[in-house]
Amino acid sequence: CNFRLCPFQLCPLRAANKAMSKKPAAQPTLHKVIMVGSGGVGKSALTLQFMYDEFVEDYEPTKADSYRKKVVLDGEEVQIDILDTAGQEDYAAIRDNYFRSGEGFLCVFSITEPESFDATQEFREQILRVKNDENIPFLLVGNKSDLGDKRRVPLDACRERAAHWQVPYVETSAKTRDNVDKVPAHTHLHPPT
């Protein structure tokens, strides 16, 4: 299927979840989003913050974890299935399988680690190779914005890369929850019109 990225629209996700639990509805549309990035950049922390409003301080490498949540985006109830993938190079061989199943991608790096920003180029190239489609929903995410005093990836470089790729860019903090709810809104998928 071909999909396009919907323009950003912030929705109060927690309030929407409470409202949805009161009325029965048809099965919501499922959108599979794949979280990619180098190890230690906060992919799991972002996912857990979005899913459960909690921050996990200790880093434990992920192999692959899947999470599902109902949200309302653009007035439509949808289910977002987030696959939090391993960032370590040991798991690079199995990434192709994950990428084939994804409808949208969150490419996460740490604003404090230039190497993780450099790695976004390789992740994007691998996704484009596997999907064979340049029009897939894709969001570049600079995490750890709460560590601005330790920033080593210039904001201009982040914006330039996103503009070059023609994708949105957002900075988040899994620790403070800053912009965490914006991430799934950017990956809301619609069939082409």
Average pLDDT, the chain: 80
Task: Give the span between the Cα atoms of 163 and 165, in whole angstroms.
Answer: 5
Q: What is the pLDDT of residues 39-54, one digit of tens each?
A: 999 999 998 899 888 8
pLDDT, greater one: 63 or 130 = 130
Task: Give the span between the Cα atoms of 1 and 30, in whole angstroms.
Answer: 14
Split at pLDDT 50, 70, 90, the class of 189 is very low
pLDDT, greater one: 190 or 161 = 161
Task: Say if residues 171 and 142 touch (Cβ distance below 8 Å).
Answer: yes
Measure CA 99 to chain center: 13
When pLDDT is averaged across residues 107-129 and rounded to a whole number, the result is 97
The domain spans of the chain are: 9-190
By mean pLDDT, which of 82-96, 107-121, 130-144 is the weakest?
82-96
Task: Say if residues 172 and 147 touch (Cβ distance below 8 Å).
Answer: no
pLDDT, greater one: 155 or 94 = 155
34 φ, ψ to 5°?
-110, 125
Q: What is the pLDDT of residues 135-187, one digit of tens each?
A: 899 999 999 999 999 999 999 999 999 999 999 999 999 999 999 987 765 65
Q: How confident is the model at residue 186, as a pLDDT?
A: 60
Q: How confident is the model at residue 19, as a pLDDT?
A: 45
Task: Say if residues 172 and 178 touch (Cβ distance below 8 Å).
Answer: yes
Task: Give the span between the Cα atoms of 35 and 108, in whole angstroms.
Answer: 7
Angle at 5 between CA 2 and CA 7, to 5 degrees: 150
Task: Give the span between the Cα atoms of 37 and 87, in whole angstroms.
Answer: 5
Q: How confident is the model at residue 6, as a pLDDT?
A: 41
What's the token pair of residue 5? 């990225």
Q: How confident is the model at residue 137, as a pLDDT?
A: 92
Q: Which of 121, 136, 130, 139 is nearest to 38 (CA)?
A: 121
Annotation: CATH topology of 9-190: Rossmann fold (3.40.50)
What's the token pair of residue 43? 């992919």
Task: Give the span between the Cα atoms of 33 and 31, in whole angstroms.
Answer: 6
Task: Say if residues 99 and 128 touch (Cβ distance below 8 Å).
Answer: no
